[in-house]
Amino acid sequence: MPVKPLYIDFFNFLDHPQEGDPWVSYQRLYLQGHYRFFESYLETFDHFGWPQMAERVRQIKKEDYGQLRSLIQSQDPKVLAEEALERCRLALPLNPEPSVYLFVGFFSADGVTIEVEGVPSIALGMERFKDFKDLGLLVSHEYCHCAQRSLLRDFSPKGKRTLFFAMVAEGLSALFTQVIYPEVPLHRHLFLTPQRLQWCRENQGILLELAGADLVSEKLVPILFGPGDPNAGIPPRVGYFVASQMLEHCLTHHGAEALGEAFPGFEGLFQKIIHKVAKGYKKGDARTKNQTPF
């Protein structure tokens, strides 16, 4: 079953309080059935481990999850994730197909790619969602990261990602979601507001020059793909815009076949991206065709 609704067991834990230490029942009703996933998830993040989780569990209040329960009851995230996976597999089949873990944790990432028993998988932290309108986008974005891990293992960096690797990985995932959900406005594919996307377009040359001058370092990765740098005038998450612009330029300049040789298994997807870009230009969208990435 590719989509795993772990939140069902979490609510089972909430609905069956027992006397004594809640951490004991939390492990029995929730963790033990999904131990491999949680072990892999915690190994991915070095700021949160089992002791921190146990401490947080002991502070849980059932009423804090009322809004999430109502949201899940009104719109089943399992169905939405399955629909997203179906779209993804039509564009880029993977074997094995990544599983999608819909779980409730603490301070979880909205979406992240991890390896569970050696297989790239998708983890979505349900507690962060206020609505599910972009759940499909997150699944497809992480699906592309899973594809990169599966098909490009020799290409993937072993340590910290340099900005070059981040631009390739995030740019490809951002362009992939545009192929999967062409009806969704561009700003949502890039995790930006419409106003922030407009700012990026107005400052595109500066952003591309900034990134192009520091591709071999990792210092700009958390800034461009995270909270930004207010002191330097860099807003949050603008890296997704820069990455998609860079990779789009490379694809339209070099072609799907040439880049497909460097990225085995992706030529078909590259062709779909180029086709979509060409259609966008014909419709007169706001992309800047002649802006070079460096």
Least confident of 151-160, 203-212, 225-234: 151-160
Kindly indicate the confidence band of residue 281, based on its pLDDT and cuts at 50, 70 and 90.
Answer: low
Whether 207 shows a pLDDT value over 90: the answer reads yes
- The reported pLDDT for the residue numbered 294 is 33
Distance in angstroms (rounded) separating the CA atoms of residues 125 and 159? 25
Torsion of CA 186, 104, 226, 152, to 10 degrees: -70
Are residues 256 and 267 in contact, defined by beta-carbon separation less than 8 angstroms?
Answer: yes
Percent of the chain topping pLDDT 90: 76
- The reported pLDDT for the residue numbered 98 is 97
Whether 222 shows a pLDDT value over 70: the answer reads yes
Q: Calculate the average pLDDT of the chain.
A: 90
Q: Please, what is the Cα angle at 180 between 130 and 131, to 5 degrees?
A: 5
Which of 203, 214, 270 lies closest to 238 in space, CA to CA? Answer: 203
Tokens 């190994």 -> residue: 43
Mean pLDDT across the stretch 98-118? 92
Mean pLDDT across the stretch 146-164? 82
Distance in angstroms (rounded) separating the CA atoms of residues 151 and 260? 12
Mean pLDDT across the stretch 108-127? 93
Mean pLDDT across the stretch 177-182? 96
Mean pLDDT across the stretch 211-230? 94
Whether 292 shows a pLDDT value over 80: the answer reads no
Distance in angstroms (rounded) separating the CA atoms of residues 99 and 117? 11
Which segments of the chain are extended strands (E)?
A: 3-5, 100-103, 112-116, 119-125
- The reported pLDDT for the residue numbered 263 is 86
Distance in angstroms (rounded) separating the CA atoms of residues 135 and 133? 6
Whether 173 shows a pLDDT value over 70: the answer reads yes
Whether 231 shows a pLDDT value over 80: the answer reads yes
- The reported pLDDT for the residue numbered 280 is 65
Alpha helices in 92-203 (DSSP H): 135-151, 163-180, 186-189, 194-202
Q: Identify which of 45-49, 58-62, 105-109, 155-159 has the greatest average pLDDT.
A: 58-62
For the record, the structure tokens of 90 come out as 């039509």
pTM: 0.91
- The reported pLDDT for the residue numbered 106 is 87
Residue ranges per domain, the chain?
3-151, 163-282
Kindly indicate the confidence band of residue 293, based on its pLDDT and cuts at 50, 70 and 90.
Answer: very low
- The reported pLDDT for the residue numbered 247 is 93
Would you call the peptide bond into 235 cis, given omega within 30 degrees of 0 as the criterion? Answer: no
Mean pLDDT across the stretch 135-164? 88
Pairing relationship of beta strands 112-116 and 119-125 according to DSSP bridges: antiparallel
Torsion of CA 134, 140, 141, 144, to 10 degrees: 180
